[in-house]
């Protein structure tokens, strides 16, 4: 069967599966269901959390980043894994004990201030929209490839589908749909990896294959890769730092602490009824996430090797352009892969030197999607990857859009601007907000500030500089006052946005960047995407300073803060 | 009005036929209350759904006067067939033997026209029945029937459209229409029983229309 | 044609010739819901219901019978006590009319045919008797309403001892007997007017102030005659004799109470019963009463308020009886109703949801008393037609019979970890109302609930998830989503898919905003008053509730009439168009309220 038909079939089947599960679980009333069954198993819930967690950035972009940046690309791996641990251990239990479902609710209550709440809402909306841009980029890439159209058209199609998916409720909240999504996603990621690992190293486990020797030889895979990339003038794959040690640290930290503030993830911890279940499902979720995250470096390394060997099958002998494989042609249609014959020899020269390099565009995001094609895997595997990528991108995008729509229509409109608004008007407002968010994110997706993971990193940076410090101080300090918290959040996100805009353009429109994206202009050599960590420090400093000069929080709030730091079990013991 | 003008055109041809006698009766007044109006509800069984190929095998009718069906007026007429019933027998259960001593179509037609005089004809899916009747009328009298006609199927379609309901074809069968008014199922494929079923449907349709007007 | 009609119509008995005659006389007409056929209407005769349904009523508009397909009736006629005066079409009906002249002729000519209709008529009458309310109350015999526990005294007894005896027995009159013969009657009024006002000493013999040789009435008289006599003479008390012997006493308040069909008096009657069996007997007529109320166009929410008041009265009486048996309570406590009884939203067939809140100082050794009381009362309720709760939400369950502090702990535990089971319980438990005992305990518990719930948005989110689980039964393009199979195929569960989601929505908002009201309508009003809901939304939800409850009540009444057990399933196809559209609107409102709820309490996330 032809690849495109097969792709439609597999993508269609996977969506039919999600919708089918959604309808099935709606029809069989969960009321009856619960009485009989008594809740969802932590393993199931862990899978659902993992599906929520893994976005287009994780699925599509991370391996691409690692493939092209080598070791430097692993900041995402470390950042996100660490972030999940911080969230699960440091924040979720306390927020849960505090009894507030959303982050703005917590901040508004803890800092006894509507202003604080509104600032938190606005920060969250900014982060979420930025995050959605990343997802839109991923969706655009996936659709442009599978519809064989250019990226812009793919993005438009994706926007429409995301809108309908979100209006339908994103099929979320139904744990079993998300379990299905996780299964599709992880299969789509690991099956090609296993195949390629077998091909290259004869070891079916990609994680081991990456560290193993090439099939039939004594050469280690990474050694070979280092050799090839250095031949072409790139940095050595395994030691390629991202700019500087400090930058890498800041980047990782920013991703790590930014994780906490994103609304769609933290809520997952509150939808489990018991604290104990929440902990064990967080553990399972970490395991399920780790399956993908540990596979990513293997996928990256092997894909890079395959790509290099396709272009330069024999050292010094480059691929003849007219003999390029089908996947090359397909990706050329999307505009995400482009070749320019600079020396006119009809061969594809790939080099780190921009003057010699003839692969003028190689978008990082195509790596995971093109990987099975490059490795000449069977068509159904390629189709499966498409389904997985869309599952990851759509579910995350829809979840975030719903959260944005609710924040705008409920927290801002009904909560602040027009309290007496009717439910019908509120619902209409939320639809409008959702459409506006999609349009906005879509527009910025046309003018992307970077590949999907880069944009997402920015979202995490913004969350890191605004929400995370406020949450931490809210939980762990009873001294921080509302003035401190508001000033801190505004300062944190302000500094970060300013830094990002001055280097990447206002609203990421490159022509408005007044300092340009040039590394020499970077503060301490820290790139904009990593600046969230600095913003967070600013936030902490400003908040603590302002709190020192303003009135302490009321006694009731201070008591509450002391109370939530006592573990739940201990308080129960004391009550009896 | 229009009907009267069209009749003029054919007037000479139908001289001294039962059709002319029928036309002599005044046309029912459109503006009068339906309760006083009288209808003749008809149904026919044919040997084919294609008027060009099939024949009319039987006719059934029943009259409505003063808002009630008068069973006394009910008639069932078989028509002598030239070509036989063919496969259609499975539907209407009329066999060639039944038709063996049936009267000539002219007799049945004359009886129908006599009953229809001064009445509005009613059919469910009038197009089909009228096609047959008009062909027959042409053959016998050289002119189409040109009688006022109501189609319960069209009434129902209009009603559903007014309410914005989508109308699948199956929703307009006699059975489905009747079900919508809570009328009992009727299984027979017999011209008279079908006519009776159509008559009941018409009563229900009229009752619901005038009822709604009454309310608003 | 003849065969067809023979099968369809009750003409099997007719010979062919007569059948032909009947057929040619038949007239078929169609009548929309609400049409009325009266004796005076044109075309008298036998009407056969081909489809639809018709109510027959007599001159007093009492329902005689309800006819369906294949049954026949004659409106008016020579003897109006046996023939209905009016027929009202309650479901669009196709009627076959056999004109009177033909009908009578056929009956004269055919005995079998005649018998068919005679027997049918007697069946009507039997049914009419069954449907007739327990008679016109005033036609009942005095015997059934008089009190037989008489206070009799001797004429020589002092006024004071008589007064003391009256006070002890809590009666307002005493009969003075002389040689077993009724010599006079003393009433409160006599004591006041003839003794105290005249400053007679308390040792005065009662014979001096009694009304001698009072008028009496026979126990076989009707209440109507009694009432007539008493009002004409201005009596408040009247001794009753049976075969010339003194048998009882009737008072004006007894007469009022005799009107059993009035809910107020039913409640009073309940409080006078001294056994569960007695209460059960009183309640046997309850479905019939509901039917009457519905036919008298009483609105559903009034009906449910009255039904709840009756349940309350039954509960209170059962508790009093149990207390009388077990002795006084060893500690303060409160009997609490949950769920629909607490919300005053019961309809027929409600099961019991109740619990006990004990004061914190109730000692462990007191536990058996409370357990025994719970046992007694719940068993009594079960006997009276309020079946045991499937979910064990009853005072007999230990976890629903706890001291206040433990209850409050339970509330805290549930709010802290809203497991599905807890959320399920909460939806019953957070609607509560004190029925008997120390209402302060109930108020304190409710205050804890509201405080815990309103502070904890994670808990509210879990509740919201539960609310969103039961969607109103509307599919794409607002089509009704009906049960696919099983006993209730093609029907909609009005309670589960309509009333429950709606009450859930009101409860959730109330918990979030600390509204103390429990009744759904009052909750909605309070929410609008305190500006948590737009006025329009609040009214829409209240209207939706009324609409669904009304349909539910009507459906239950239809089922009662058919002799079925009332449930909550309704086939929307069977409804008139208008009612169906209203129901659709009601469900749409619920759907929208749920969407808004998702936005508010679950941050729009699912």
Instruction: Identify the closest residue of chain A to C464 by CA–CA distance.
Output: A271
Comparing alpha-carbon positions, the chain C residue that sits nearest to B191 is: C1
Per-residue pLDDT band for C477 (boundaries 50, 70, 90) equals low
Lowest mean pLDDT among A278-287, B16-25, C307-316: B16-25
Chain position carrying tokens 């039964």: C473
Contact A410 C605 (CB under 8 A): no
Question: Cβ separation of A101 and C457 shorter than 8 Å?
Answer: yes
Burial class (CB in 10 A: 0-12, 13-18, 19+), C357: buried
Q: What is the pLDDT of residue C292?
A: 75
Determine the pLDDT at residue A227. 73
Closest C-alpha among A213, A154, A237, A161 to residue A446: A154
**Angle C34-C37-C40 from CA coordinates, rounded to 5°:** 145
Q: Which of B172, B191, B61, B169 is nearest to B122 (CA)?
A: B61
Choosing among B71, B72, B210, which should be mutated to test the C contact, i.e. which has the most C CBs within 10 A?
Answer: B71
What is the average per-residue pLDDT within B84-91?
68
The alpha-carbon gap from B36 to the nearest alpha carbon of chain C, in Å, equals 14
What pLDDT, on a 0 to 100 scale, did the predictor assign at position A545? 92
Min Cα–Cα distance to chain B from C6, Å:
13
Please, which pLDDT band fits residue C178 given cuts at 50, 70 and 90?
Answer: confident
pLDDT digits (tens, 9 = 90+) for A107-119: 888 888 888 888 8
Cβ of residue C579 closer than 8 Å to a chain B Cβ: no
Say if residue A21's pLDDT is above 80. Answer: no
> Are C173 and C163 a contacting pair, CB within 8 Å?
no
At residue A510 the predicted structure's pLDDT band, cuts being 50, 70 and 90, is low
**Domain with residues C276-451, CATH architecture:** 2-Layer Sandwich (3.30)
State pLDDT tens for residues C131-164.
444 445 566 678 777 887 788 898 888 988 999 9
Taking the C-alpha atoms of residue C237 and residue C255, their distance in angstroms, rounded to an integer, is 11
CB B154 within 8 Å of CB B181: no
Say what the pLDDT of residue C604 is: 65
Q: What is the CATH number of domain C456-606?
A: 1.20.120
- The enclosing H or E element of B39 equals strand B39-46
Q: Among A195, A393, A27, which Cα is nearest to C471's?
A: A27
Q: Does C25 touch chain B (CB under 8 A)?
A: yes
| pLDDT tens, residue by residue, C359-398 | 988 888 888 899 999 988 999 988 888 888 877 788 888 8
Residue that wins the pLDDT comparison between B211 and C30: C30
- Domain edges within chain A: 3-566
pLDDT for A3-16, tens place per residue? 778 888 888 888 78
Per-residue model confidence (pLDDT) at position C129: 39
Tell me, what's the pLDDT at C98? 84
Look over chain A and give the mean of its residue pLDDT values, rounded to a whole number: 78
Residue extents of the structural domains in chain B: 2-215
Query: Closest to C1 (Cβ–Cβ): which among B76, B181, B184?
Result: B76
Q: What does R_g of chain A's alpha carbons equal in angstroms?
A: 24
Q: Which long-range contacts (CB under 8 A, 24 or more apart) does A89-92 make?
A: A90/A260, A90/A472, A91/A260, A91/A266, A91/A471, A91/A472, A91/A475, A92/A266, A92/A269, A92/A270, A92/A278, A92/A282
Q: How confident is the model at residue B115 (pLDDT cuts 50, 70, 90)?
A: confident
Is pLDDT above 90 for B171? no
Which among A100, A174, A421 has the least Cβ separation from residue C457?
A100
Average pLDDT over every residue of A122-147: 81
Residue A518 confidence class, pLDDT cut points 50, 70, 90: low
Question: Exposed, middle or buried by CB within 10 Å (0-12, 13-18, 19+), for C149?
Answer: exposed
Q: Which among C424, C468, C534 has CB closest to A422?
A: C534
Q: Summarize the confidence of residues B52-68 as an average pLDDT.
A: 86
Closest to A517 in 3D by CA, of C221, C532, C412, A508? A508
User: Looking at the partner chain, which of C32, C69, C91 has a beta carbon nearest the beta carbon of B184?
Assistant: C69
Q: Does C203 score more than 80 pLDDT?
A: yes
Average pLDDT over residues B140-168: 81
pLDDT at C6: 65
C-beta atoms of C92 and B182 within 8 A: yes
**Is residue B94 very low, low, confident or very high in pLDDT (cuts 50, 70, 90)?**
confident
List the chains bordering chain B where 3 or more Cβ pairs fall under 8 Å.
C
Is C52 in contact with B182 (Cβ distance < 8 A)? Answer: yes
Which CATH topology does C142-257 take?
CBS-domain (3.10.580)
Is residue A32 scored above 60 in pLDDT?
A: no
Average pLDDT on A530-541 reads 88
Residue with tokens 């009704």: C480
Interval C529-554 mean pLDDT: 87
pLDDT tens for residues A145-196? 777 788 888 888 888 888 877 776 544 455 677 788 888 888 888 888 888 8
pLDDT tier at B215 (50, 70, 90 boundaries)? very low
Looking at 2.60.120.10, 3.40.50.12710, 3.30.930.10, 2.40.50.100, the CATH number of the domain C2-131 comes to: 2.60.120.10
Asked which of A497-506, C146-155, C247-256, C396-405 is least confident by mean pLDDT, the reply is: A497-506
DSSP state of C157: S
Q: Which of A500, A529, A525 is nearest to A512 (CA)?
A: A500
Q: State the architecture of B2-215 in CATH terms.
A: 2-Layer Sandwich (3.30)
∠ CA B62-C8-B89, nearest 5°, is 65
Query: What whole-number distance in Å separates Cα of residue C441 and Cα of residue C24?
Result: 77
Most confidently predicted of A48-52, B35-39, C135-139: A48-52
- Across A377-381, A415-419, C531-535, which has the greatest mean pLDDT? C531-535
Quote the DSSP letter at residue C605. Answer: -
CA–CA gap between residue C509 and residue C493 (Å, rounded): 24
Phi–psi pair at A363, nearest 5 degrees: -75, 130
pLDDT band at A233 (very low <50, low <70, confident <90, very high): low
Is residue C460 within 8 angstroms of chain A, CB to CB? Answer: yes
C-alpha dihedral over C386, C387, C389, C390, to 10 degrees? -150
Q: SS3 breakdown of chain C: % helix, strand, coil, rounded to 5?
A: 50, 20, 30
- Residues of chain B in contact with residue C69, where contact means CB-CB under 8 angstroms, are 184
Query: pLDDT value at position B34?
Result: 62
3+ Cβ–Cβ pairs closer than 8 Å linking A and B:
no
Nearest CA in chain B to C20: B72
Choice among C8-22, C123-137, C202-216 with the minimum mean pLDDT: C123-137
Q: Output the pLDDT for position C222.
A: 79
- ipTM value: 0.84
* CATH architecture for the domain at A3-566: Up-down Bundle (1.20)
Say how many C-beta atoms besides its own lie within 10 A of residue C509's C-beta.
25
Q: Which chains touch A (3 or more CB pairs under 8 A)?
A: C
For C99, the closest chain B residue by CA position comes to: B70
DSSP A177-220: HHHHHHHHHHHHHHHHHHHHHHHHHS-S-HHHHHHSBPTTSS-B
CB-based contact A200:A302 (threshold 8 Å): yes
Percent of the residues in chain A that have a pLDDT greater than 90, as a whole number: 2
Q: Are C601 and A26 a contacting pair at CB < 8 A?
A: no
| CB-CB under 8 Å, B192 with C1 | yes
Displacement of CA B107 from its chain's centroid (Å) = 17
Contact present, C and A (at least 3 Cβ pairs less than 8 Å): yes
Residue-level pLDDT at A572: 43
Does the pLDDT at position A279 exceed 80?
A: no
* The residue to which tokens 């280690």 are assigned: A220
Q: Find the residue in C nearest to A33 (Cα).
A: C420
Chain A: give the shortest CA distance to residue C416, in Å. Answer: 7
Give the domain ranges of chain C.
Answer: 2-131, 142-257, 276-451, 456-606
Instruction: Pick the residue of A48, A398, A423 with the most C CBs within 10 A to test the interface with C by mutation.
Output: A423
pLDDT > 70: percent of chain A: 84
Q: What is the mean pLDDT of residues C199-209?
A: 87
Structure-model confidence comparison of residues C3 and A480, the more confident one: A480
In this prediction, residue C77 carries a pLDDT of 57
Quick one: pLDDT at residue C309? Answer: 87
pLDDT at residue C131, rounded to an integer? 42
Question: A550-566: per-residue pLDDT in tens?
Answer: 888 888 888 888 887 77
C405 contact A CB<8A: no
Q: Does position A521 have pLDDT exceeding 70, yes or no?
A: no
Average pLDDT, chain C: 81
């Amino acid at each position: 069967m032809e690849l495109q038909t097969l792709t439609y079939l597999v993508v269609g089947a996977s969506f039919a599966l999600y919708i089918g599960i959604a309808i099935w679980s709606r029809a069989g009333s969960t009321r009856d269901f619960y009485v009989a069954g008594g809740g969802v198993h932590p393993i199931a819930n862990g899978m659902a959390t993992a599906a929520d967690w893994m976005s287009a950035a994780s699925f599509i972009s991370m391996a691409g980043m690692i493939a092209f940046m080598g070791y430097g690309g692993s900041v995402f791996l470390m950042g996100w894994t660490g972030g999940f641990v911080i969230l699960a251990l440091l924040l979720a239990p306390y927020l849960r004990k505090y009894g507030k479902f959303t982050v703005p609710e917590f901040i508004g209550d803890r800092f006894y201030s509507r202003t604080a709440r509104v600032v938190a809402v606005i920060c969250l909306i900014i982060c979420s929209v930025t995050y959605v841009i990343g997802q839109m980029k991923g969706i655009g890439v996936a659709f442009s490839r599978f519809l064989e159209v250019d990226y812009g058209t793919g993005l438009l199609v994706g926007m429409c589908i995301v809108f309908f998916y979100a209006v339908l409720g994103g099929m979320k909240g139904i744990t079993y749909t998300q379990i299905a999504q996780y299964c599709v996603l992880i299969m789509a990621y690991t099956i090609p990896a296993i195949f390629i690992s077998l091909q290259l190293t004869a070891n079916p486990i990609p994680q081991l294959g990456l560290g193993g020797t090439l099939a039939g030889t004594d050469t280690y895979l990474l050694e070979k890769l280092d050799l090839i990339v250095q031949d072409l003038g790139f940095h050595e794959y395994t030691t390629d730092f991202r700019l500087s040690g400090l930058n890498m640290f800041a980047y990782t930290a920013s991703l790590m602490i930014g994780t906490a503030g994103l609304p769609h993830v933290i809520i997952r911890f509150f939808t489990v009824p018991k604290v104990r279940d929440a902990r064990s499902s967080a553990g399972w979720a970490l395991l399920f996430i780790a399956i993908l995250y540990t596979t990513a470096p293997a996928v990256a390394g092997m894909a890079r090797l395959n790509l290099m060997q396709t272009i330069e099958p024999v050292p010094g002998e480059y691929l003849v352009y007219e003999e390029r494989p089908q996947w090359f042609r397909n990706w050329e249609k999307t505009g995400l892969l482009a070749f320019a014959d600079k020396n006119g020899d009809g061969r594809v020269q790939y080099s780190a030197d921009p003057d010699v390099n003839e692969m003028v565009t190689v978008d990082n995001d195509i790596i995971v999607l093109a990987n099975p094609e490059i490795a000449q895997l069977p068509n159904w595997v390629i189709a499966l990857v498409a389904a997985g990528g869309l599952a990851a991108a759509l579910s995350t995008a829809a979840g975030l859009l719903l959260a944005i729509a609710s924040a705008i229509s409920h927290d801002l409109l009904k909560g602040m601007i027009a309290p007496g608004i009717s439910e019908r008007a509120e619902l209409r407002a939320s639809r409008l907000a959702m459409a506006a968010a999609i349009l906005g994110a879509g527009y910025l997706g046309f003018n992307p500030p970077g590949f999907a993971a880069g944009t997402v990193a920015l979202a995490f940076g913004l969350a890191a500089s605004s929400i995370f410090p406020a949450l931490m101080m809210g939980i762990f300090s009873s001294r921080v006052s509302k003035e401190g918290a508001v000033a801190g959040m505004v300062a944190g996100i302000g500094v970060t946005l300013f830094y990002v805009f001055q280097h990447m353009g206002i609203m990421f429109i490159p022509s408005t960047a007044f300092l340009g994206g040039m590394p020499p202009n970077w503060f301490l050599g820290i790139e904009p995407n990593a600046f969230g960590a600095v913003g967070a420090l600013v936030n902490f400093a400003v908040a603590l300073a302002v709190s020192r000069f303003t009135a302490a929080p009321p006694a009731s709030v201070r008591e509450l803060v002391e109370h939530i730091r006592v573990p739940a079990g201990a308080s129960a013991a004391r009550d009896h | 009005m229009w009907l009267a003008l069209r009749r003029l055109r054919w007037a000479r041809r139908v001289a001294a036929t039962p059709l002319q006698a029928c036309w002599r009766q005044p046309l029912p007044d459109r503006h009068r209350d339906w309760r006083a109006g009288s209808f003749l509800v008809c149904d026919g069984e044919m040997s084919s759904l294609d008027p060009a190929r099939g024949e009319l095998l039987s006719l059934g009718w029943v009259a409505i006067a003063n808002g009630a069906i008068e069973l006394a007026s009910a008639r069932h007429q078989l028509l002598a067939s030239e070509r036989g019933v063919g496969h259609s027998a499975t539907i209407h259960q009329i066999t060639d033997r039944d038709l063996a001593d049936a009267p000539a179509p002219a007799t049945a037609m004359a009886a129908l026209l006599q009953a229809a005089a001064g009445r509005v004809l009613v059919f469910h899916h009038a197009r089909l029945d009228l096609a047959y009747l008009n062909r027959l009328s042409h053959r016998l009298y050289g002119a189409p029937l040109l009688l006022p006609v109501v189609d319960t199927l069209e009434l129902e379609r209009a009603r559903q459209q007014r309410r914005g309901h989508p109308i699948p074809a199956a929703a307009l069968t006699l059975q489905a229409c009747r079900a919508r008014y809570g009328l009992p199922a009727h299984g027979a494929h017999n011209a008279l029983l079908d006519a009776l079923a159509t008559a009941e449907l018409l009563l229900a349709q009229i009752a619901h229309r005038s009822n709604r007007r009454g309310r608003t | 044609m003849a065969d067809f009609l023979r099968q369809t119509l009750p003409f099997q008995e007719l010979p062919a010739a007569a059948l032909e005659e009947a057929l040619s006389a038949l007239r078929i007409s169609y009548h929309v819901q609400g049409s009325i056929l009266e004796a005076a209407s044109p075309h008298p005769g036998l009407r056969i219901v081909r489809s639809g349904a018709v109510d027959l009523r007599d001159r007093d508009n009492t329902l005689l019978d309800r006819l369906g397909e294949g049954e026949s009736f004659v409106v008016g006629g020579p003897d109006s006590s046996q023939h209905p005066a009016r027929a009202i079409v309650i479901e669009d009906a196709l009627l076959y009319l056999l004109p009177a002249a033909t009908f009578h002729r056929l009956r004269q000519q055919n005995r079998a045919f005649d018998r068919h209709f005679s027997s049918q008529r007697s069946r009507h009458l039997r049914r009419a008797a069954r449907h007739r309310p327990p008679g016109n109350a005033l036609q009942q015999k005095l015997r059934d309403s008089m009190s037989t526990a008489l206070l009799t005294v001797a004429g020589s007894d002092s006024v004071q001892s008589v007064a003391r005896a009256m006070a002890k027995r809590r009666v307002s009159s005493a009969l003075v007997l002389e040689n077993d013969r009724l010599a006079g009657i003393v009433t409160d009024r006599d004591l006041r007017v003839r003794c105290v006002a005249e400053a007679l000493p308390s040792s005065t013999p009662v014979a001096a102030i009694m009304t001698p040789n009072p008028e009496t009435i026979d126990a076989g008289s009707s209440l109507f005659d009694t009432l007539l006599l008493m009002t004409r003479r201005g009596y408040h008390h009247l001794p009753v004799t049976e075969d010339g012997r003194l048998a009882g006493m009737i008072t004006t308040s007894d007469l009022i109470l005799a009107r059993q069909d009035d809910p107020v008096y039913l409640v009073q009657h309940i409080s006078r019963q001294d056994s569960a069996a007695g209460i059960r007997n009183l309640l046997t007529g309850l479905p019939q009463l509901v039917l009457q109320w519905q036919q008298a166009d009483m609105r559903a929410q009034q009906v449910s308020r009255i039904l709840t008041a009756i349940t309350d009265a039954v509960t209170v009486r059962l508790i009093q009886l149990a207390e009388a048996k077990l002795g006084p309570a060893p500690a303060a406590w409160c009997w609490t109703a949950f769920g629909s009884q607490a919300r005053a939203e019961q309809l027929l067939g409600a099961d019991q949801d109740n619990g006990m809140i004990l004061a914190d100082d109730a000692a462990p050794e007191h536990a058996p008393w409370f357990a025994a009381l719970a046992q007694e009362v719940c068993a009594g309720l079960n006997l009276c037609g309020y079946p045991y709760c499937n979910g064990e939400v009853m005072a007999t369950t230990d976890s629903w019979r706890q001291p206040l502090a433990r209850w409050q702990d339970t509330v805290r535990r549930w709010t802290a970890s809203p497991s599905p089971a807890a959320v399920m319980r909460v939806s019953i438990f957070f609607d509560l109302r004190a029925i008997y005992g120390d209402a302060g305990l109930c108020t304190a518990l409710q205050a804890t609930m509201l405080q815990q719930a309103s502070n904890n948005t994670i808990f509210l989110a879990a509740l919201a998830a539960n609310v969103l689980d039961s969607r109103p039964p509307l599919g794409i393009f607002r089509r009704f989503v009906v049960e696919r199979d099983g006993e209730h195929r093609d029907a909609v569960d009005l309670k589960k898919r309509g009333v429950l989601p709606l009450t859930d929505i009101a409860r959730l908002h109330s918990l979030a905003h600390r509204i103390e009201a429990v009744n759904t309508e009052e909750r909605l009003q309070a929410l609008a008053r305190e500006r948590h809901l737009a006025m329009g939304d609040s009214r829409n939800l209240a209207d939706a509730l009324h609409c669904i409850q009304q349909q539910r009540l009507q459906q239950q009444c239809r089922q009662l009439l058919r002799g079925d057990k009332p449930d909550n399933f309704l086939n929307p196809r069977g409804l008139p168009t208008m009612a169906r559209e209203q129901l659709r609107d009601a469900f749409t409102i619920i759907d929208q309220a749920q969407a808004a709820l998702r936005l508010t309490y679950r941050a729009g996330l699912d």
